[in-house]
Chain A
Amino acid sequence: MEQHSNPFAGSTPAKRTAQDLEAVTGLKLQYAEDCFRVSGCYEAALASFAQSLPLLPKEYFDAYETVEKNASKLNEELKLVYQKARELKTGDLTDADVWKLFQLNPLFSGQKSASAAAPASGGFPFDKKQPAASTETEAANPLKFDTKAPAASGTAQAPTGFSGFGTKAPAASGTAPAATGFVGFGTKAPDTTDAGAASSAPTFGGFGAPAAAADTEKEEKKPEVLYCEPEHFTGPLLDMPGFWEAEVVERCALLNLNGGFIEANRDKLLPRLERWVKRASFYRAPVKYARIVDRDEEVTRVIIKDADRTFNAPEHREKFVHFLHAMYHEFHAYGQAMSYLAGLCMLVLNEDDTAAVLRFVSKEYIRGHWAAEAVGFATSAWVVHYFMEKRFPAVANHLMELKFWPDTYLQKILTGLCIHVLPFQELFTFLDAFMEGGMAYLIKFCLGIVERFQDRFLAIKDSMEANKVYEMMRLDSHATNITDIRAILARAPEIDLGENTNNIDLLRSEMYEKHVLPRLQRAPKKDTFEPCALCEKGRPKWWNDDLGHVCNECKDKHPNEVFEDF
C-alpha cells in the first residue's frame, strides 16, 4: 500500500546518504557532503555531480577511477533520476518542488547503492558520445563527461545557466528540473524540454545521446496564453441551479451508465471524492484560467466538442470548456479521456479540487496517457502485456500470434479509466481502487479480465474474431455481464504482480525502448520532408527525371519541363 502514495511508485523509502555518494563517485567525503547538503538528496546530488564532473579538480576525489568503474550503474541511476524528473516537471511545479519530491520520496534505497554493486566492467559509456567541454577541461578531466542532461525533445533548448554553489539553476518552464548547483563548479545545468510527450516518454538516451525521435515534435502548437480570472462559477456542478434537471434527469452523455447511482448517492459522493482530493493534496493549487481567444484553435475545438458530448446545457458545457482549457494550458497537452474524469469529479468537487485530482492522476499514475499522441499509454499497454506474458503466457502468446497488440485494446482501461465502460456503481469502486493503487491497480484489473476470460481468449481462432478481444477488454454488455464485472473487480486487488510490482517504472522504460521507440523512429514525422532538390526549402510536390523532386514554386520556374506527382 505504501508504494501507492509514493509518486515514485516502485521506490523504496530508505534514503541514501552522502556516504553513498562518496562511495559511488569516489569524491572525498567533505565534497560529497557539501554536494549532498546543497542538493538535499542523493538523487539531486548525483545529477549535480554528473553535470559538474568535467570541471571537478582531481583533488576533490579520493579515488578518481571510481566513477569509471561505476559508470554503468551510474548511468542506470541517472537514467531513472532524469526520467522521473522529466515526468514530474510539468505544470506549476518548480525545479525546487521536483527535487523536494526526491527528498520526500527517494528513488533509491541505501541497500541498492551503486557502490554496493560490482563495478562495471568495460568502458565508460558516456565517454564516446560526449563532445569535449573544452580543451582545458579535457586536460583536467579525461573522462569528458558531458554536462547535458538527456534531451527529452529534439527541440531541446540550450542548456540553462548554472550559477554556482548553492544557487538554483534556472530552467525554462516546462523543462526537466535542473539539479541544484554543486560547489561552484560552473557547469551548466541539464535542460530537457518536456511538452506533453516528454512526460510520457520514459526515455533516456544517455548523456549526449540523440533525443528520442518521439520528441522531435512538440506535443501541441502552443498559442499565446492570456491568463485571466474565471468569469464562470467554479464550484461543483451539482450546486448549479438547473444542473440536476438538465443533466441528471435528462441524462447527459457523461451519465450514460449512471443507472440511478448519482440519485442514490448524492450525499455520499462528495465525501467519497474528497478522499481522492486528500490523496492528491500535494497537487492542490489554484487553477490558472486562460482566455479563450480562438475557439477554432485545434485543441480548443476538441475541448468544445468534448463538452458538447458530455453535458446537455450550454452553461454546463461552457464551465466545462473553461476548466479543461485551463488544464490544457497547464499540462501543455490535452487528451480527450481527461474530460471523462474531469466531468465526474466536477459533479461534486470545485475546480481547484478537480484540478488536483487530475494532476495527481496524470503525473503520478498514468503519465503521458492523456496526450494527443499517447506515447505513455502505448508504453503502459506493453507493460500490461509483459505481465500477461508472465501470468497468462498462453493468452499473451495467442494474442500476439493473432497480431492483437495491447496498445489497440487497452485504451478504455488505461486511458479512459473505465469511464463509459463500467456502470457507475462498479465504476466508482474501480476508481476508488485506482486512486489507491495507481498503475499497478490498472495492470491488475487488466489481468483480472484476462484471467476471467482466458478460455474465451484462447478460443479465438483467428483475426476474423478480433471483435471478441475488443468486446471483452471493453467489457461490452453483450460479451460480458455484471457478474463478470463484479468478479473482476473483486479479484483484481488480489492479483500478485510478483517481484516486478515495484519496478513498473523500470518496465515502462524497457517497454518503451523495446516496442514504442522503434515505431516512433520509423514513423514519418508530420512536418518532416526532404526539401525540394532545387531550392532546398519547399515541400516537394513534383517529380522530374532530371531535376528530381521539386516544390510548386520551382516547378513554375521550369515551364518547359514535364513533371509528375511526387
Chain B
Amino acid sequence: MAKAGSSPGGDCDYIFKIIVIGDSGVGKSSLTVRLSEDVFYKDYASTIAIDFRMHQMQYMDKRVRLQIWDTAGQERFQSVATAFYRGANGVMLCFDLTHRPSFQHLEQWVERVKQQALPGIPCLLIGCKSDEARDNRQVTNDEAIAWAKQHNMFFIETSAKEKENVQQAFQQITKSIFEDMKDRNGKNLPTAREGSVNLEGQANHKEKKSCC
C-alpha cells in the first residue's frame, strides 16, 4: 500500500507495509496489539481475514510508520491474497515455540509468500510465546535459527505477554526493509514475481536477509 522508499512528508519519513502470517493461534494478534496498543489480552478473539494496525517508530534518524496487516491463520489466501500481499515491504513469519506443528508448517507459509509477494521481500522468523516456552518448549532455539538461516532470514523469540522483544522484532524487520531498499536501489533487482526464481541465489546471504 505504501511505497517503500518514498518520502511522504508529514509526521513520518517512511511507510512500510508489514504482513504478519503464521498458523492460527500462534500469537500474531497479540504481537501486533502489544506493539500498537501496548496491551496484552489473555484471550484475544480470533482474527477474521485481516486486521490492520498502525505503529509509528523511530529507526536511526528516520521516522517510520508501520502499516501492520495481521492475518487470520486459518485463511487460505487465494481470494484475499492480492490485496493482502500487494505492496508489502516485509513479512513477519510467526510460529508458536510451544507448538511444534506451527513450526513445521513454516515451509507452507514461506511458499505462499514466494507465490504472492514480491521476490526477495525481507522476512523475519518469530518464535512467539517465549514466556510459555520456559516450561513447554517444543522448538529449540538452535533449530529455529537453523531454519531461519536456511531461508535467509533472521530469527527472534518474543513474548507479547511479557513485552519481550516485541519492539525489537519490529525494529529488526524495519532494518531489513531498509537494507532491502538499499540493495534494490543499488542492484535494480526485478520487481515482478517471475524474478523470484533466481533471486534467492543472487542474494548475499551474509549481508542481506531476504527470504523469498
Contacts and interface: CB of A to CB of B under 8 A. Distances in A.
A336 B73 CA distance: 10
B54 to A, nearest CB: 4
A464 B6 CA distance: 12
Contact of B48 (A337, A378, A467, A564): A337
Nearest to A311: B43
A373 B116 CA distance: 16
B65 A411 contact: no
A121 interface: no
B77 interface: yes
Nearest to B87: A403
Nearest to A404: B1
A222 interface: no
B191 to A, nearest CB: 17
B201 interface: yes
A167 B76 CA distance: 40
A253 B45 CA distance: 7
Contacts of B73: 302
Interface string A305-316: 110111010000
A564 B198 CA distance: 8
Interface string B29-69: 00000000000011111111111111000000000010100
A14 B163 CA distance: 63
Interface string B181-212: 00000000000000001101100000000000
Contacts of B8: 462, 464
Contacts of A302: 24-25, 73-74
Contact of A412 (B2, B24, B48, B112): B48
A336 B201 CA distance: 39
Interface secondary structure of A, over-half rule: helix
Nearest to B37: A478
Interface in A411-425: 411-412, 415-416, 420
B95 interface: no
Contacts of A416: 48
A500 interface: no
Interface stretch (A25-33, A68-76, A386-394, A522-530): A522-530
Given A214-B79, A374-B80, A405-B83, A415 B2 contact: no
Contact of B45 (A334, A340, A463, A526): A340
A519 interface: yes
A516 B83 CA distance: 11
A375 interface: yes
B72 A467 contact: no
Contacts of B74: 299, 302, 334-336, 372
A520 B79 contact: yes
Given A296-B101, A374-B49, A466-B67, A403 B1 contact: yes
A565 B77 CA distance: 25
Nearest to A519: B82
A414 to B, nearest CB: 9
Interface of B: 1-2, 8, 10, 12, 15, 24-25, 41-54, 65, 67, 72-84, 86-87, 101, 108, 111-112, 115-116, 197-198, 200-201
9 A-B pairs with the lowest CB-CB distances in the bound complex, closest first: A305-B25, A253-B43, A373-B76, A523-B78, A411-B49, A467-B54, A470-B52, A336-B46, A524-B115
Interface of A: 214, 252-254, 256, 296, 299, 301-302, 305-306, 308-310, 312, 334-337, 339-340, 372-375, 377-378, 403, 405, 407-409, 411-412, 415-416, 420, 462-464, 466-467, 470, 516, 519-520, 522-526, 543, 564-566
